[in-house]
Amino acid sequence: MVLRGARHFAFLGRSGLDKSTARDLIQDLETLGAECVVIKGDVCNPKDAMRLIAATERDIGGVVQASMGLKESLFSDMSNESWHIGIDPKVQGTWNLYNSLQTTGRHLGLDFFLLTSSVSGSVGTATESNYCSANHFLDHFARYLRSQGIPGVSIGLGMISEVGYLHDNPEIEALLLRKGIQALDSDELLQIIDLALSSSLTASTHDDYDLLANAHLLTGMEASGLKRLRKMGFDGTNVAWDDPRASLLANALDGQQLTQSPSHSGKLPAGVMKELDQGKTLAESVLDCIRRRFGNLVLMKYEDVDAKKPLADYGMDSMIAAEFRTWFYQNMKVDIPMLVLLDKISNLETLRDTSLSQLE
């Protein structure tokens, strides 16, 4: 931004300048000739949002809403407090910023209103219903902003490697990788943000079918990363590609359709039908399909997964179990209880038997 001519920055954050990384950022900006104002406060508090707007004496060129909160658990176990930790920074915080701008009449003439969303706003994660919902709100709020003549844009970011939250929390990064979400490096991130900030309000879509579509940029579902996983021996896929709207992405992977073909309709997924076509029994086909998916979840090659080995010995935890349970329900229409997945004696053969009992 400084290289593009920006010289005045105002920041709002709960820790203010308490963290060394924040102090280093301000020092770097000031060394480059920028003026910085730092407000210690919470964007979820309307008064703090108003303090931020009031602290900027000049015309406001643009807004970057990058607040977030994470508190993971299954929705059935999520407390009200945990729900709001994930929801409030993005939902209430965004409204507070927008209302503060509108109240002061400073929402007019913005060059951008950037919302840092996540691919999870489009592709759900079983243990992050609060975070997914909050990002889905951002994706639609950007459309609302454009309908009001404000150049809003929501970037649905996937994994960001090398820097940021996921870099500091590798277990979350591994979870997203298992789901088929591909990483962006810091250079790619800057290019995407550059594209988002440079897009004009009047830019049209290719076919003008959805005039507000430019309000949302989605990343992290590129087929190239899954191709690399497959070359490593993993059966890389993404459950979101079963959605017909994702057919172009699905076809980009080896030029093949990943979604279930019409001849494979019914309860059985395409993977099971493929095994059946090769002459295997239903029990063998279901076990092979389960075994391949589990290998993806724990990042092991198919041939290294022992179907008789207890799931607990592979490091099964609630996050992996939640993803595995979602896969069973979405692909086989089978409901595997969490207690079964987390049971110390359960193995893949146990899951096969449970699946067969519900498929019959």
For 189-214, the pLDDT digits (tens) are 888 888 888 765 445 455 567 878 88
Query: Each residue of 289-299: pLDDT tens digit?
Result: 899 888 878 87
Q: How confident is the model at residue 63 (pLDDT cuts 50, 70, 90)?
A: very high
Q: Which residue ranges does the chain devote to CATH 3.40.50.720?
A: 42-221
Homologous superfamily assigned to 42-221: NAD(P)-binding Rossmann-like Domain (3.40.50.720)
Return the pLDDT at 263: 38
Ramachandran sector of residue 16 (left: φ over 0; alpha: ψ -120 to 50; beta: rest): left
Give CA–CA dist 93/298, Å, rounded: 36
Q: How confident is the model at residue 17 (pLDDT cuts 50, 70, 90)?
A: very high
Query: Tokens 């910023």 label which residue?
Result: 97
Structure tokens at 313: 């010995």
Q: Confirm if 181 and 221 have CB atoms less than 8 A apart.
A: yes
pLDDT-wise least confident of 218-222, 243-247, 317-321 = 243-247
Instruction: Please give, one letter per residue, the 3-state secondary structure of the chain.
Output: CCCCCCCEEEEEECCCCCCHHHHHHHHHHHHCCCEEEEEECCCCCHHHHHHHHHHCCCCCCEEEECCCCCCCECHHHCCHHHHHHHHHHHHHHHHHHHHHHHHCCCCCCCCEEEEEEEHHHCCCCCCEHHHHHHHHHHHHHHHHHHHCCCCEEEEEECEECCCCHHHHCHHHHHHHHHCCCCEECHHHHHHHHHHHHHCCCCCCCCCCCCCCHHHEEECCCCHHHHHHHHHCCCCCCCHHHHCHHHHHHHHCCCCCCCCCCHHHCCCCCHHHHHHHHCCCCHHHHHHHHHHHHHHHHCCCCHHHCCCCCCHHHHCCCHHHHHHHHHHHHHHHCCCCCHHHHHCCCCCHHHHHHHHHHHHC
**At the top level of CATH, which class does the domain 260-359 belong to?**
mainly alpha
Q: Which residue ranges does the chain devote to CATH 1.10.1200.10?
A: 260-359
pTM more than 0.75: no
Q: Confirm if 132 and 121 have CB atoms less than 8 A apart.
A: yes
- Rounded mean pLDDT of 29-55? 95
